[in-house]
Structure 1
């Protein structure tokens, strides 16, 4: 079996978290003896000129690999329906290579809604795929009901959590390593520092707790790839008079797990979320999770695994954080959390993914 993985996001040393979930899956396949080639965009930079350069180069690299390996590739696996899936669709039509496409959320929630043309192309990509993987149940329903893809060719399969990395650690030791003072109430955010991740509402929630005499320190871990918004957010924080918001920057996964062990609450107030892998990684690391009840997050936080709150609601978010900080809170069921983490283990993901590839190659 030989797979060509295509993705418009893939990490490098300069951008270690950019599409890290795709690389993790690639490495899982390689560790288990699967021959995997990758053609991906590794530069998160914005702007029309940068976009033309990187997307053009990516398309040429994909074409080169398909032309050279069209007889050896079992399937191509596209991450994100559009634009990535378009390359797989072309590969199928020109070279007869079947493809699998993973829908992550933004491709349907944002990209497909930009224009009627992109939506039609997204529908064609999904319908011609040998199999469509969705990272959450809501996306499964949208693909089957909204795009008319037969349920027999659609699966719900997350990107999986690496429990060898995301695990319980010595809290005092990692707090000392990261410079978090003893007794400090620490709220962690992990993700891109962008508006749609609810970062403004998070600092507003911190301000609310501050006024109520329950101060917290907010640690923002992630890329400030939108420099304009990051400056706007810092100005907003200054206007609120908050002095306990820390911009940490990006962190490798091993260190990210340490942050999750060191902090008290993981806050994920996204406006939309296909799955919410960070929440699952937090659960595996033992941190209490508060997040928006949207998309895949609403499922992950269900059954007392976390505290769901409405998106774009700083007051509700402050209330969720306050409850999560309460050591007597009964909002968290440890057994339910353990079962959910196990359900998304690397071994389970690998078994299901290989079965999807085999069926796609056999035309089933």
Structure 2
């Protein structure tokens, strides 16, 4: 796809997560913004100070407001309260404060506004200001997670709170000029659950935010971490939150210890559940260990030095998100073990890529046996890893995503300027 860059294009991104955060949706927001800037768009972003997944503002940040240039993007950071433990109520209050700060910031004269959800509440506040002061400016909601569905699947929202969140999410999605989602299943849910017309939904897949993986000295890396040649090393990376259900991984490590199995489970990252996981690891012997977040080189090294890469989800989580770690997992060439709902998005993605094995979530024994099964046939493990790399290169490609997003921006801004009418078939072509 070839996109003609409008030199007066001034997209404005709003999101709570942005680089230098390395986990979750931050790398995608940052890469999309900087990718558009490289193509000649005058990109701005109004975002929070880096705080995720630690839930603590990073050293050197925390000013009331701060401006910086990151990869060609003019970034404005606004302070908001970051709860140390993001329980639903305090997290909602945090988002309200953040949304007010974003709505009160200087927006300039954007030609398109992109709100990244989550955060949902702050995106809704941004939408409110846009309707009051930028009504004719195209407004895009870029959905990385389905908020209301996530609360339901993790048991964090019931009753009145759930109804309020659903109402906010429904209004935000229905009022947008276009909704960008990262998977076809999201498009189906948004159309079926919220009544958003298909022609206003575009599917643009996420991609790996890492460059080409460097050549890794696997023996040296494994030795540095104390892993022997006989150890089966299962690595999980990213956020340690409720929806990951990582206490089941600690239990799988405990089962491995009790059975004398040489299977190590390694959790890399940080998050709201980290302290609880440490307590669980220290309470009884387990082969599960925790490592802090890694820089890009160390991250690539550990992925390529593992035997198996793990996606673990809480039982009941099926439709709320597509784990961002999968794009990096596929790029590494290692087989994937997904402990997840067999009918959910994650399982479908692993099957589509033919890159691994799925086991039931919340079952420590199944998790341990799945890891052993993947390494029991080295040729099959190698084949699955190569399939994942091929899927990343053909389906989860950054250039395709940038082309599609740039084309969507061009269509919407041209339609807003009265140059032509946006055609439903064009939107579907962009999305799928």
Fold agreement, TM-score > 0.5: yes
SS where residue 266 of structure 1 aligns?
strand
2:408 pairs with 1:356: yes
Q: CA RMSD in A?
A: 2.7
Aligned mates of 2:210, 2:261 — CA distance in 1: 33
- Report deviation, 1:106: 4.5
Aligned residues of 1:3 and 1:74 also touching (Cα < 8 A): yes
Does the CA-based 8 Å contact 1:165-1:254 persist in structure 2? Answer: no
Measured in 2, the distance between the counterparts of 1:174 and 1:335 equals: 21
Report the alpha carbon displacement of residue 61 of structure 1 after superposing the two structures with TM.
3.9
Partner of 1:286: 333
Cα distance between partner residues in 2 of 1:169 and 1:296: 31
1:110 matched to 2:150? The reply is yes
Q: Which moved more, 1:315-324 or 1:109-118?
A: 109-118
Q: Give the distance between the partners of 1:263 and 1:142, measured in 2 at CA.
A: 35
Alpha-carbon deviation of 1:32? 3.0
- Structure 2 portions without partners, runs of 5+: 1-8, 56-81, 416-421, 423-432
Q: Alpha carbons of 1:126 and 1:6: their partners in 2 closer, same or farther (altered >3 Å)? A: same
Q: 1:8 aligned to 2:16?
A: yes
For residue 55 of structure 1, report the CA deviation from its aligned partner. 4.7
Structure 2 counterpart SS, 1:214: coil
After superposition, where does 1:269-308 map in structure 2 within 5 Å? 269-271=312-314, 272=317, 274-294=321-341, 295-303=344-352, 304-308=354-358
Task: Tell me the distance in 2 between the aligned counterparts of 1:253 and 1:63.
Answer: 35
User: Does residue 156 in structure 1 map to residue 203 in structure 2?
Assistant: yes
What pairs up with 1:106-145 in 2 under 5 angstroms? 106-111=146-151, 114-145=161-192
Aligned to 1:249: 292
- For residue 38 of structure 1, report the CA deviation from its aligned partner: 1.1
Would you say the 8 A contact 1:100–1:360 is kept in 2? no
Matched, 1:316 2:366: yes
Contact between 1:178 and 1:259, CA under 8 Å: does it hold in 2? no
Q: Which residue of 2 aligns with 1:76?
A: 113
C-alpha distance in structure 1 between counterparts of 2:214 and 2:148, whole Å: 32
Matched ranges for 1:230-241 at <5 A:
230-241=274-285
- TM (norm. structure 1) is 0.87
2:425 maps to what in 1? none
State the Cα distance separating 1:119 from its structure 2 match. Answer: 0.9
**CA shift for structure 1 position 110:** 2.7
Structure 1 residues 59 and 251, CA gap change in structure 2 (3 angstroms): farther
Offset at residue 249 of structure 1 (A): 1.1
- Structure 1: stretches of 5+ with no match in the other structure: none
| Total equivalences in the alignment | 354
2:69 counterpart residue number = none
**What is the distance in 2 between the residues matched to 1:157 and 1:190?**
23
Match of 1:86 among 108, 116, 124: 124
Q: 2:83 matched to which residue of 1?
A: 46
Deviations 1:178-212 (A, max 9, x none): 55444432111112222321211111122223333
Residue 418 of structure 2 corresponds to none
1:53 and 1:129 mapped to 2: Cα distance?
A: 23
Q: SS at the partner of 1:115? A: helix
Kept in 1: contact 2:236–2:267 (CA 8 A): yes
What's 1:63 paired with? Answer: 104
Instruction: Say which SS state the counterpart of residue 348 (structure 2) adopts.
Output: helix
Seen in structure 2, the aligned counterparts of structure 1 residues 16 and 348 have a Cα distance that, compared at 3 Å, is closer
- Aligned residues of 1:166 and 1:281 also touching (Cα < 8 A): no
- Equivalent residue for 1:101, pick from 138, 141, 160: 141
Preserved contact between residue 114 and residue 141 of structure 2 (Cα < 8 Å): yes
Q: Secondary structure at the match of 2:279?
A: helix
Q: Does 1:185 find its partner at 2:228?
A: no
Alpha-carbon distance, 1:53 to partner = 6.5
Task: Give the Cα separation in 2 of the matches to 1:168 and 1:161.
Answer: 17
Conserved 8 A contact 2:146-2:321: yes
Q: Secondary structure at the match of 2:106?
A: helix
User: Quick check: 1:191–1:197 contact (8 Å CA) kept in 2?
Assistant: no
Q: After superposition, where does 1:190-229 map in structure 2 within 5 Å?
A: 190-224=237-271, 226=272, 229=273
The answer on whether the counterparts of 1:167 and 1:286 sit within 8 Å (CA) in structure 2 is: no
